[in-house]
Homo-oligomer: A and B are copies of this chain.
C-alpha cells in the first residue's frame, strides 16, 4: 500500500527517540512507558482518532537504547505498521482477563534489567491512560523493576519543536486564519450560536483542516462568561462580543488561537478591553526571549493589560502548543519553566470587562534565538464588526 499515514521522514522520529534516550541517561531511566495519544503520536507518528474510544489501552516503550516497541491492541497493528515502528506486539483487546498487562510486563522485562527504574509520566499535565487496577497488576508483574516519574524527561524533549513540526503548526494556523477571515461573511446578528459553530467548523474544513480538534466559543453583551463552551442556544444580538477559539489539526499538529468579533458597533468597554489585550500581545511579541521564565511572561502580560487600562483575567495567560491543544509551560505566576528556542507558544491575555464578563485574545508564536516569529496571522488592532 502506498497510502501511508506517516507524516514525517523516519529521521524525524529517530531524532525524537534519541533525545528521549539522552534524557533517560541523565535521569537513569532504563525505559519510558507512554500511554497517551500525544506521547504515542510524538514517538511513533501513529495518527488516528480512535483514541475517542476509551475501551482499549495502548502502550509504547522507549528503551534506553534501540528503537521504540509498540504494545498495542491488534486492531491497531495495520496502522502502526505504516509508521517507522518495526517491533509491534499485539493482543486481542478488549480482554477482560488480561488486557495487555502480561504482554507489556514481558516486554519491559525483556528490555530492562531487574533493578530498572522505568519512567512513566506521572506529574503535572499527565495522566496514565490505562485502568488503575491494571497499573497495579503491571507494577506487581515487573517487580523488582519499579515505575518512576518521567514527566520532565518527556516534557523537555517534546517542548522543543523541530523545523518540520513548526511547519505543521504553521499550516494549522494558516487554515484557522483563513476560516477566521471568512467569519464576517457568514455570521451576523440573529444567527443562532449553534449555527455559528456549525458554519465555522465547515469553514475550517473547507480551509484545509484535517479535523477540528477543538472548538469553543461564546457570546455576550460586551463580553462573555467563559472560553470553553461547546455550543449554546439563542441568537447573536447587537452589542454581543462573539469569541471563537479553535484547535485545527493538520497531520496531528494543532494550532490554538481565537478571534473576537463585535456584533454591530462594539461598546466602549469592550473596545477598550480589546485594545488593552491587543497592545499587551504586541508587547509580548516584542519582548519575549529565550531564557525568560513562563512566570515572567505572565507578569509582563498582566502588567501590560493593567497599564492599558484593563483588569487582567485570572488563570494562565499563555501555554505551549504542539501535538496537544495545550502543552506546558503555563504563563502563570507559579510556573518557572525556562523558555527555550524552538518552543511553540500561545500568548493568551484575558481581561475582565465586568463581573462575569471577560475578553480573551490569543496568538501562536515560535520562540527564536532573538525573539519570536508569529505563526498565526496577527489579529486586527480594532475589534472586527459583524453586521447587526
Q: Which of chain B's residues has its CB closest to A206's CB? A: B202
Q: Using Cβ atoms and an 8 Å threshold, which residues of chain B touch A378?
A: none
* Apart from A5-B232, A75-B315, A132-B135, 20 more pairs, CB < 8 Å: A1-B225, A3-B233, A3-B234, A5-B229, A38-B54, A50-B216, A52-B324, A52-B325, A54-B125, A55-B125, A75-B227, A78-B356, A92-B314, A96-B335, A122-B131, A123-B131, A127-B127, A127-B131, A127-B132, A128-B132
Question: A334 and B97: CB pair below 8 A?
Answer: yes
What is the CA–CA distance of A57 and B122 in the complex, to the nearest angstrom?
Answer: 13
Interface residues of A in 36-74 (CB under 8 A from B): 36, 38, 47-50, 52-55, 57, 73-74
Chain A 194-214, CB-CB to B under 8 Å as 1, else 0, gives 100110011001101111111
Question: B330 and A193: CB pair below 8 A?
Answer: no
Say yes or no: A55-B319 contact (C-beta < 8 A), given A94-B125, A122-B132, A128-B128: yes
Q: Using Cβ atoms and an 8 Å threshold, which residues of chain B touch A229?
A: 5, 48, 79
- How close is A364's CB to chain B, nearest CB, in angstroms? 15
State the copy count for this chain.
2
Which 10 A-B pairs have CB atoms at the shortest separation, nearest pair first? A122-B132, A78-B226, A3-B232, A50-B228, A53-B326, A78-B225, A3-B234, A52-B214, A122-B133, A52-B325
Q: Using Cβ atoms and an 8 Å threshold, which residues of chain B touch A127?
A: 54, 57, 127-132
